[in-house]
Structure 1
Protein backbone atom coordinates (compact mmCIF):
# COMPACT_ATOMS: atom_id res chain seq x y z
CA UNK A 1 0.00 0.00 0.00
CA UNK A 2 2.76 2.45 0.85
CA UNK A 3 4.47 1.73 -2.47
CA UNK A 4 1.32 2.75 -4.29
CA UNK A 5 1.04 5.96 -2.28
CA UNK A 6 4.70 6.71 -2.91
CA UNK A 7 4.19 6.26 -6.65
CA UNK A 8 1.16 8.56 -6.58
CA UNK A 9 3.11 11.18 -4.62
CA UNK A 10 6.07 10.99 -7.00
CA UNK A 11 3.73 11.23 -9.98
CA UNK A 12 2.04 14.31 -8.57
CA UNK A 13 5.43 15.91 -7.95
CA UNK A 14 6.49 15.28 -11.54
CA UNK A 15 3.20 16.56 -12.96
CA UNK A 16 3.42 19.70 -10.83
CA UNK A 17 7.01 20.33 -11.91
CA UNK A 18 6.10 19.84 -15.56
CA UNK A 19 3.25 22.31 -15.32
CA UNK A 20 5.45 24.82 -13.51
CA UNK A 21 8.29 24.61 -16.01
CA UNK A 22 5.80 24.85 -18.87
CA UNK A 23 4.38 28.04 -17.37
CA UNK A 24 7.87 29.47 -16.94
CA UNK A 25 8.71 28.77 -20.57
CA UNK A 26 5.44 30.24 -21.77
CA UNK A 27 5.76 33.44 -19.79
CA UNK A 28 9.42 33.82 -20.74
CA UNK A 29 8.57 33.60 -24.43
CA UNK A 30 5.85 36.22 -23.96
CA UNK A 31 8.33 38.49 -22.16
CA UNK A 32 10.93 38.03 -24.90
CA UNK A 33 8.32 38.86 -27.53
CA UNK A 34 7.50 42.09 -25.67
CA UNK A 35 11.11 43.10 -24.97
CA UNK A 36 13.55 41.43 -27.35
CA UNK A 37 16.46 43.46 -26.01
CA UNK A 38 16.14 41.77 -22.60
CA UNK A 39 16.48 38.24 -23.96
CA UNK A 40 19.67 37.48 -22.00
CA UNK A 41 18.26 38.45 -18.61
CA UNK A 42 14.96 36.69 -19.25
CA UNK A 43 16.66 33.50 -20.42
CA UNK A 44 19.03 33.32 -17.43
CA UNK A 45 16.18 33.87 -14.97
CA UNK A 46 14.07 31.26 -16.77
CA UNK A 47 16.84 28.66 -16.53
CA UNK A 48 17.44 29.45 -12.85
CA UNK A 49 13.76 29.10 -11.95
CA UNK A 50 13.41 25.87 -13.95
CA UNK A 51 16.40 24.42 -12.08
CA UNK A 52 14.89 25.39 -8.73
CA UNK A 53 11.58 23.74 -9.64
CA UNK A 54 13.35 20.58 -10.78
CA UNK A 55 15.27 20.50 -7.49
CA UNK A 56 12.07 20.83 -5.49
CA UNK A 57 10.46 18.07 -7.56
CA UNK A 58 13.44 15.78 -6.98
CA UNK A 59 13.23 16.37 -3.24
CA UNK A 60 9.50 15.64 -3.34
CA UNK A 61 10.12 12.36 -5.20
CA UNK A 62 12.79 11.30 -2.71
CA UNK A 63 10.53 12.16 0.23
CA UNK A 64 7.65 10.26 -1.37
CA UNK A 65 9.69 7.07 -1.59
CA UNK A 66 11.54 7.33 1.72
CA UNK A 67 9.03 9.28 3.82
Structure 2
Protein backbone atom coordinates (compact mmCIF):
# COMPACT_ATOMS: atom_id res chain seq x y z
CA UNK A 1 0.00 0.00 0.00
CA UNK A 2 2.88 2.38 0.79
CA UNK A 3 4.43 1.70 -2.58
CA UNK A 4 1.15 2.43 -4.36
CA UNK A 5 0.63 5.71 -2.51
CA UNK A 6 4.20 6.88 -3.13
CA UNK A 7 3.96 6.04 -6.83
CA UNK A 8 0.58 7.74 -7.12
CA UNK A 9 1.87 10.91 -5.46
CA UNK A 10 4.95 10.91 -7.69
CA UNK A 11 2.86 10.35 -10.81
CA UNK A 12 0.34 13.07 -9.97
CA UNK A 13 2.93 15.64 -8.92
CA UNK A 14 4.92 15.04 -12.11
CA UNK A 15 1.92 15.64 -14.32
CA UNK A 16 0.74 18.66 -12.34
CA UNK A 17 4.14 20.32 -12.62
CA UNK A 18 4.42 19.45 -16.32
CA UNK A 19 1.01 20.94 -17.08
CA UNK A 20 2.00 24.19 -15.37
CA UNK A 21 5.18 24.31 -17.43
CA UNK A 22 3.31 23.86 -20.70
CA UNK A 23 0.65 26.41 -19.77
CA UNK A 24 3.06 29.29 -19.07
CA UNK A 25 4.11 31.86 -21.65
CA UNK A 26 7.72 31.85 -22.75
CA UNK A 27 8.51 35.43 -21.81
CA UNK A 28 6.40 35.52 -18.65
CA UNK A 29 8.61 33.23 -16.60
CA UNK A 30 11.44 34.60 -14.53
CA UNK A 31 14.28 33.04 -12.62
CA UNK A 32 14.55 35.67 -9.89
CA UNK A 33 12.56 33.63 -7.43
CA UNK A 34 14.63 30.52 -8.03
CA UNK A 35 17.86 32.45 -7.52
CA UNK A 36 16.55 33.87 -4.25
CA UNK A 37 15.60 30.39 -3.06
CA UNK A 38 19.04 29.13 -4.08
CA UNK A 39 20.73 31.92 -2.14
CA UNK A 40 18.66 31.15 0.93
CA UNK A 41 19.45 27.46 0.66
CA UNK A 42 23.16 28.20 0.23
CA UNK A 43 23.30 30.13 3.49
CA UNK A 44 20.90 27.90 5.38
CA UNK A 45 22.50 24.58 4.49
CA UNK A 46 26.00 25.94 4.99
CA UNK A 47 25.06 27.18 8.45
CA UNK A 48 23.34 23.89 9.29
CA UNK A 49 26.32 21.80 8.20
CA UNK A 50 28.78 24.13 9.90
CA UNK A 51 26.83 24.06 13.15
CA UNK A 52 26.66 20.27 13.16
CA UNK A 53 30.36 19.99 12.32
CA UNK A 54 31.40 22.46 14.98
CA UNK A 55 29.24 20.73 17.55
CA UNK A 56 30.83 17.37 16.76
CA UNK A 57 34.33 18.86 16.89
CA UNK A 58 33.70 20.50 20.25
CA UNK A 59 32.12 17.29 21.56
CA UNK A 60 35.15 15.23 20.59
CA UNK A 61 37.67 17.73 21.93
CA UNK A 62 35.90 18.24 25.23
CA UNK A 63 35.43 14.49 25.60
CA UNK A 64 39.17 14.01 25.11
CA UNK A 65 40.00 16.75 27.60
CA UNK A 66 37.59 15.22 30.13
CA UNK A 67 39.30 11.84 29.84
CA UNK A 68 42.82 13.27 29.96
CA UNK A 69 43.02 16.82 31.35
CA UNK A 70 46.78 16.90 30.81
CA UNK A 71 46.31 16.77 27.04
CA UNK A 72 44.15 19.88 26.88
CA UNK A 73 46.93 21.95 25.29
CA UNK A 74 47.47 19.36 22.56
CA UNK A 75 43.75 19.02 21.85
CA UNK A 76 42.70 22.67 22.04
CA UNK A 77 44.82 24.06 19.18
CA UNK A 78 43.77 21.49 16.53
CA UNK A 79 40.16 21.94 17.64
CA UNK A 80 40.35 25.70 17.05
CA UNK A 81 41.96 25.15 13.63
CA UNK A 82 39.21 22.66 12.73
CA UNK A 83 36.51 25.07 13.87
CA UNK A 84 38.05 27.83 11.75
CA UNK A 85 38.08 25.56 8.69
CA UNK A 86 34.46 24.59 9.28
CA UNK A 87 33.47 28.23 9.66
CA UNK A 88 35.24 29.07 6.40
CA UNK A 89 32.79 26.78 4.58
CA UNK A 90 29.88 28.66 6.14
CA UNK A 91 31.39 31.96 5.01
CA UNK A 92 31.86 30.51 1.51
CA UNK A 93 28.13 29.71 1.42
CA UNK A 94 27.44 33.30 2.46
CA UNK A 95 29.64 34.61 -0.38
CA UNK A 96 27.86 32.35 -2.87
CA UNK A 97 24.54 33.75 -1.67
CA UNK A 98 25.80 37.29 -2.30
CA UNK A 99 26.87 36.34 -5.82
CA UNK A 100 23.46 34.80 -6.47
CA UNK A 101 21.69 37.89 -5.14
CA UNK A 102 23.69 39.99 -7.60
CA UNK A 103 22.07 38.09 -10.49
CA UNK A 104 18.50 38.98 -9.53
Taking structure 2 as the reference length, what is the TM-score of the superposition?
Answer: 0.60
TM-score normalized by structure 1?
0.89
Please list every run of 5 or more consecutive structure 2 residues that lacks an aligned counterpart in the other structure. 1-32
Q: 1-side partners of 2:40 and 2:55: how far apart? A: 22
Runs of 4+ in structure 1 displaced over 6 angstroms? none
Larger helix fraction of residues: 1
CA drift of 1:65 comes to 3.2
Question: 2:99 corresponds to which residue?
Answer: 66
1:26 matched to 2:59? The reply is yes
- Aligned pair count reads 67
1:10, 1:64 within 8 Å by CA — same for their partners in 2?
yes
| Distance apart, 1:35 and its partner CA | 1.4
Q: Distance in 1 between matches of 2:46 and 2:98?
A: 12
Structure label with greater radius of gyration: 2
Larger RCO, structures 1/2 (Cα 8 Å, 6+ apart): 1
| RMSD after superposition | 1.2
| TM-fit CA distance, 1:64 | 3.2
